[in-house]
Amino acid sequence: MTILHVEDIVKKYGDFQAVKGISFAVEKGEIFGFLGPNGAGKSTTIKILCTLLSLTSGKAVLNGFDVSKETLKVRQSIGLVFQDYSLDDRLTAEENLYFHGMLYNVPRELLRERMEQVLKMVDLIERKDDQVRKFSGGMKRRLEIARGLLHHPKVLFLDEPTIGLDPQTRRAIWNHVINLRDEFGLTVFMTTHYMEEAEHCDRIAIIDHGEIVALDSPVSLKAQVGGDIITVKTNQNEEIAKLIQERYNLESKLEGEFLRLEVQDGSSFVPQIVADFPGAILSIHVHEPTLDDVFLKLTGRAIRDELISEADRAKQKVRSFRKGKR
């Protein structure tokens, strides 16, 4: 059953087209991911689907409601966990949930039971009476997820849910998200630029410059690359690239100080190239295709994690600067 149907959505900021006519559908119970580099249009799209931003043209229907015309019904159908921290630090975990429940008109007689239910889901029931300021970053994010589920949404939107969190906490949050899907059939729509995170999704739309460049399961996307990826450092990269072309009819790409090439079978290619270019190979690495390789193949650019980490750090700094000014 289709829970979200998006048809030819365009979003313009002035003359600039941030989202360029994208279309897709999400099935009930799916974990659907939007993967792309900074500025690709992920947040803009998610905000449109959550009714926080108007669209320029196109149509989106969520849980049977038009996001442009039936905003209240759409809002009642969704839970939100956005990049910006939005808990009240001075309230306890339970009080934060209570406040949200009142805003969403969760009937009073149900609210206690619901709060207990969602706190249990994210393993925070023991800490319900603690002020949120005493929580770690991961606990806060789990509480935000619990809050997003309090009014029993049909679709949970997660915009970069684990940004700035350590890998262990990221994994813990993912385990919770997968459980929610498995146990309650919840549909999850998320954006990320972490490759390993995107791997958890049932399907991924790869977005670049406001356009969907591919949409499929992680396994099928990676199968598009085919074979193995070799990165090799030699003492004369340009010269060796030419020789590789001549000898094996393989095109290699210069990436920093490495040559990158795709081969059918890495385990047989490595000994062959080492033997064919004695003394020239300084290092060689072989790996199965990742989603980064898929992105590179589709766009000619890499979503490099180190660049992204830089952006994360900068975003964190801006947030602390903002908080300090309050």
Ligand X SMILES: Nc1ncnc2c1ncn2[C@@H]1O[C@H](COP(=O)(O)OP(=O)(O)OP(=O)(O)O)[C@@H](O)[C@H]1O
With respect to ligand X, which residue has the nearer C-beta, 11 or 100? Answer: 11
Shortest separation between residue 260's beta carbon and ligand X, angstroms:
25
With respect to ligand X, which residue has the nearer C-beta, 16 or 321? Answer: 16
Shortest separation between residue 35's beta carbon and ligand X, angstroms:
10
- Which residues are at the interface with ligand X (CB under 6 A)? 13, 16, 18, 36, 38-44, 193
With respect to ligand X, which residue has the nearer C-beta, 113 or 306? Answer: 306
With respect to ligand X, which residue has the nearer C-beta, 84 or 113? Answer: 84
- How far is Cα 267 from Cα 157, in angstroms, rounded to an integer? 41
Q: Output the CA–CA distances (angstroms, integers) from residue 128 to 31, 93, 117, 140, in the order listed.
A: 28, 5, 12, 12
Shortest separation between residue 253's beta carbon and ligand X, angstroms:
25
With respect to ligand X, which residue has the nearer C-beta, 39 or 185? Answer: 39
Residue 136 CB partners (closer than 8 Å, separation 6+): 169
With respect to ligand X, which residue has the nearer C-beta, 43 or 187? Answer: 43
Shortest separation between residue 155's beta carbon and ligand X, angstroms:
18
Shortest separation between residue 31's beta carbon and ligand X, angstroms:
19
Shortest separation between residue 39's beta carbon and ligand X, angstroms:
4
